[in-house]
Amino acid sequence: MFELQKIVVGIRNSSLSQSQTNFLLQKVLSSDPKLKKDLFDIKTIKTTGDIYNAHRLDRIGGKGLFIKEIEEQIISGKIDIGVHSMKDVPAQEVSTDLDIICWMKRHNANDALLSNSGKKLMDLPSGSVIGTSSIRRRSQVLHLRKDLSIKLLRGNVDTRIQKLINKEYDAIILSLAGLARLKLEHLVTEVLDFKSFLPAACQGAVGVQAFKESQIKEIFSPINDTETEIECLTERRVLKNINANCNSPVSVYAKIKNDQIQIWFELYDHTGQKIFQKKVSAEKNNHFELSDTLSDEVIEIVGQRKINELDYLKDDFNYTPD
């Protein structure tokens, strides 16, 4: 093991980022008794997405808004690693010098509904106001319930929940993994199933980013979850191939079972119409080939131009039924 005096860890300034990072570092310290807690120095960094926390993400860039400043500080040498919610990391890499050197075991990837009334999504009264900032979730709600209103919801998890409590929304949709990491699962009204709410690529996964050649990888390698790594790289490859990102109304989820890998993929338009759906499988070792075959089919049937258009929501994010 090489000698290191200090590892500076860059994270977003949020309770979820802090919780994820504390869990990560506990795992690392448990993996090697020679490592000491004071080896790690956590530095919070305000990202563009956090600063402009009342704006539509797609209108202020969308791609990498929650990781851009952290990546810049790794490259400049101000921090050694960044800890990210991997669904926030664009599939199109900003810097070829950086890599995800460790993947934490993925938590449950489902979305969750929190409602003031305690009613599930399909039982909410017509006109109920649903809060989200995700264009994917917006389309999925519209696919099921065009009689509901949708209202932009930004801020960290605590802020979003407080807005629900303040009755600014009748219900909100959040990641189940984030709620679990903050020990807020008791607030969940309904865990939304994959049939209706297939998740975003890498939802529920946390990754450690550093320079590709960084020796720090040695410290994190004992806790790297290989299955999570393969599943998430598979999902990210599909997004990269079709030039989609976190602004796109696209869901992709990969799962390994008995040396087989399955990929579920869905693409919506902004009115809630499902324009492509596919489930494919192959041997685990052929996960990239499977991603490429699926991507080619999406592009052939939907068209790259249409996929690119879906990257930008021309209409108001807020939706009110006719």
**Overall domain count for the chain:** 3
Note whether 56 and 11 are same-domain residues: yes
Residue 198 lies in a domain: no
Residue with tokens 């506990």: 26
Q: What 8-state DSSP symbol labels residue 271?
A: T
* Helices (H), ranges, 109-156: 135-144
CA angle 17, 317, 236 (to 5 degrees): 50
Note whether 158 and 25 are same-domain residues: no
Residue 315 lies in a domain: no
Note whether 73 and 126 are same-domain residues: no
Residue 200 lies in a domain: no
* Of residues 175, 139, 134, the one with CA closest to residue 153: 134
Q: How far is CA 194 from CA 114, 130, 219, 274, 319, in A?
A: 17, 19, 35, 14, 23
Residue 317 lies in a domain: no
At residue 57, the pLDDT reads: 59
Note whether 42 and 78 are same-domain residues: yes
Residue 231 lies in a domain: no
At residue 69, the pLDDT reads: 86
Note whether 129 and 175 are same-domain residues: yes
CB neighbour burial string for 283-299, b if at least 16 within 10 angstroms, e if fewer: ebeebeebbeebbeebb
At residue 318, the pLDDT reads: 95
Note whether 87 and 219 are same-domain residues: yes
- As given in the structure block, the two tokens for residue 271 are 């009115």
Residue 35 lies in a domain: yes
In 63-222 the beta strands, taken as DSSP E runs, fall at 81-85, 98-103, 111-115, 129-132, 149-152, 171-175, 190-192, 206-211
Active site residue ranges? 88
Q: Please give the Cα distance from 49 to 60 (Å, whole number).
A: 8
Residue 250, domain CATH: 3.30.160.40
Residue 229 lies in a domain: no
Per-residue model confidence as pLDDT tens digits over 17-65 = 999 999 999 999 999 989 988 899 999 987 665 555 555 556 555 556 6
Residue 171, domain CATH: 3.40.190.10
CA angle 151, 152, 156 (to 5 degrees): 130
* Helices (H), ranges, the chain: 15-31, 48-51, 68-76, 135-144, 157-165, 176-181, 217-220, 226-242, 287-302, 304-309
Q: What pTM did the predictor assign?
A: 0.92
Q: Please give the Cα distance from 221 to 244 (Å, whole number).
A: 30
Residue 158 lies in a domain: yes
Per-residue model confidence as pLDDT tens digits over 104-144 = 999 999 999 999 999 999 999 999 999 998 999 999 999 99
Residue 238 contacts residue 291 (beta carbons within 8 Å): yes
Residue spans of the chain under pLDDT 70 = 1-4, 47-66, 94
Element (H, E) at 283: strand 274-283
Residue 301's φ and ψ, nearest 5 degrees, are -85, -45
Q: Please give the Cα distance from 194 to 97 (Å, whole number).
A: 35
Q: What 8-state DSSP symbol labels residue 263?
A: E
Range of the domain at 74: 7-104+205-224
Note whether 91 and 212 are same-domain residues: yes
